[in-house]
Amino acid sequence: MQASPAVTASTPLTSPALAAFIRGIERRALVVAEYQTGEVLVAERAVAVAMRAFVPAAVDQPMSEWPLQFWRLLSSTPQLRQPADEGQWPQDLLHLPGLTDGQRLALLLRIGAGLDEALAAQVLGTEVEAYCQWLAQACPRDHQGQPDAQAWRGLAEAVQARVRELSPERQAQLERLRESLVSTGPQAPQREPAVPVMQAERRERKPPATRSPLGQWLWLLTGAALLAGVAWAWLSSSRESTSAAGTEQPAPAGLEVENPVRSENLQQLELPPPAAPASVEPVVDPAQAALLEQADFLAWVAAGGPLPVDESNEQPRNPAPQAVALAAGVAQAN
């Protein structure tokens, strides 16, 4: 028989894992108990006692320990440890009543329950060597006293056939036993409905008290006074901040300022007097200025006009050479 994974079964009796374990082991347990005692009613009673003792203990145990715990409880019942002598066995299993109680139980744990030598030895509380010795003593023998493998195989097949071909009456008995285990087990705590609690809270709540008009007016006047005080304080503080120059601005009450803002008056800067505007008159050479004063006259002479006659002095007889000399001097000056 293979062990289940090592998972702690902390679920209630109605857990799927525990229900599946009981459903898978109940037939083999009933057949082992029946062929150990030889009585059907005694076997059913022993299985019921073992299951009722196993289910509460399995809740706090790992699943890997469930097979050992169940078969140990079943094997330790008085019905299986010391069966009565009035038992009856089928014709193909007449080898079983000829064995001792310990040998028969060791054999049924092997061929009926499907346990290996190590687990069966733990169930019986003995060593593996002792359990193997019991199996050797319970093995069928031939006419020469040697272990009969064919008889062993036939005995195991007969027991397994009883497990598979369990009658409907026996199956119904096991189902009723399983249902009784679930119904008598500890039930999970149920939560109280939330609707009555909500209704109780609604009943406990009181309607809000109505306020009188006088109280409302008092609240309004108090709020207006507070607003006026705040506005007056703000205006006075702003006036003081603008009038006091170079002083540190006080922080509002309850407010810590790490870097206060300071205000200082700016000094009047002394600017140099504006410079006199520079003269824009052009600088003219004196010689050129004299020529400019006679520009009209020189232009008239150059155009070939006659020189004016100075009536105050004696006039030369031939004025043309003087005009030519004057024109030549003007040309050289230019």
- Residue 13 and residue 181 in contact, taking contact as beta carbons nearer than 8 Å: yes
Write down the pLDDT at residue 195: 45
Rounded to whole angstroms, how far apart are CA atoms 49 and 73? Answer: 9
CATH architecture of 16-182: Up-down Bundle (1.20)
> Residue 121 CA to chain centroid, in angstroms?
49
Write down the pLDDT at residue 166: 85
* Distance set, CA 142 to CA 8, 78, 104, 152, 158 (Å): 47, 33, 18, 11, 18
Write down the pLDDT at residue 321: 56
Angle, alpha carbons 188-192-196 (nearest 5°): 170
Listed in sequence order, the residues at least 6 apart from 44 whose beta carbon sits closer than 8 Å to its beta carbon are: 30, 33, 173, 177
Q: Where are the domains of the chain?
A: 16-182
Write down the pLDDT at residue 240: 62
Q: What are phi and psi of 8, to 5 degrees?
A: -70, 130
Write down the pLDDT at residue 193: 46
Write down the pLDDT at residue 36: 92
Write down the pLDDT at residue 172: 86
Ranges of the chain whose pLDDT falls below 70:
1-14, 182-213, 215, 238-272, 274-285, 291, 300-301, 303-334
DSSP line for 159-175:
HHHHHHT--HHHHHHHH
0.85 surpassed by pTM = no
- Residue 58 and residue 10 in contact, taking contact as beta carbons nearer than 8 Å: no
In whole numbers, what is the pLDDT of the chain averaged over residues?
Answer: 74
Write down the pLDDT at residue 81: 83
Q: Is the dihedral of CA 74, 79, 81, 86 positive or negative?
A: negative
Q: Count of CB atoms within 10 A of residue 70's CB?
A: 24
